[in-house]
Chain A
Amino acid sequence: ETGVTQSPTHLIKTRGQQVTLRCSSQSGHNTVSWYQQALGQGPQFIFQYYREEENGRGNFPPRFSGLQFPNYSSELNVNALELDDSALYLCASSPSRVTGANVLTFGAGSRLTVL
């Protein structure tokens, strides 16, 4: 069984640019969540996708958007990059809901630096 894979692993952008991060979910998982982790902080929930639809969103502005594809892979897009967007972006997948007991499988993350 393959785990969660993310690409790219590292990237550098400048303010105002746009970025797309990609994630392949673990086999058998149909739910994908994205988290932002700033240096020295815990991950913060950006949004979740289930069956290709956004299924919950954290406190992030609309310039953070996403997609989920029929094979359950996902993209995170960030427009008009700001310096504070520099962070590790983590993708996590989880299986169909088991009440009160969903465990997330995380990818290794994409480290974004905005200059």
Chain B
Amino acid sequence: SQQGEEDPQALSIQEGENATMNCSYKTSINNLQWYRQNSGRGLVHLILIRSNEREKHSGRLRVTLDTSKKSSSLLITASRAADTASYFCATEPAGANSKLTFGKGITLSVRP
């Protein structure tokens, strides 16, 4: 079963614009992570936010977490064509020790 649900399912933007992706989940968590996947290959970790944190930044990435609403958002600023990929949110349920639950993913297309 997939706990996380991302929206939108697909997003198409122009290079230089910002991309915002949202994720909702159902149970208590230790942390929430975002991963990126290019063309059906392995996933690459982007950023992790712990349950007691509200916002984190890493380069052009900004992630927020609202545990009361069980939701998160990922903002990619000044997007580039190379950001074209699928993005997944993943939650580590409380007590689940690295056993991540992934959503179905968001397909981001950045037009040059």
Instruction: Tell me the A residues contacting B by CB distance below 8 Å.
Output: 4, 31, 33, 35, 40-45, 48, 55-56, 58-59, 88, 90, 92, 94, 97, 99-109, 111
Interface size on B, residues (CB 8 A): 28
Q: Establish whether residues A101 and B44, one from each chain, have CB atoms under 8 Å apart when the complex forms.
A: no
Question: In the assembled complex, which residues on chain A have CB atoms less than 8 Å from the CB atom of B2?
Answer: 41-42, 44
Q: Establish whether residues B99 and A33, one from each chain, have CB atoms under 8 Å apart when the complex forms.
A: yes
Q: Establish whether residues B1 and A59, one from each chain, have CB atoms under 8 Å apart when the complex forms.
A: yes
Q: Establish whether residues B51 and A45, one from each chain, have CB atoms under 8 Å apart when the complex forms.
A: no
Q: Across the two chains, which residue of chain A brings its CB closest to B6?
A: A42
The complex places the Cα of A45 from the Cα of B104 at a distance, in Å, of 13
Q: Establish whether residues A103 and B48, one from each chain, have CB atoms under 8 Å apart when the complex forms.
A: yes
Q: Establish whether residues A45 and B100, one from each chain, have CB atoms under 8 Å apart when the complex forms.
A: yes
Known: A59-B1, A101-B48. A42 touches B42 (CB 8 A): no
The complex places the Cα of A90 from the Cα of B50 at a distance, in Å, of 24
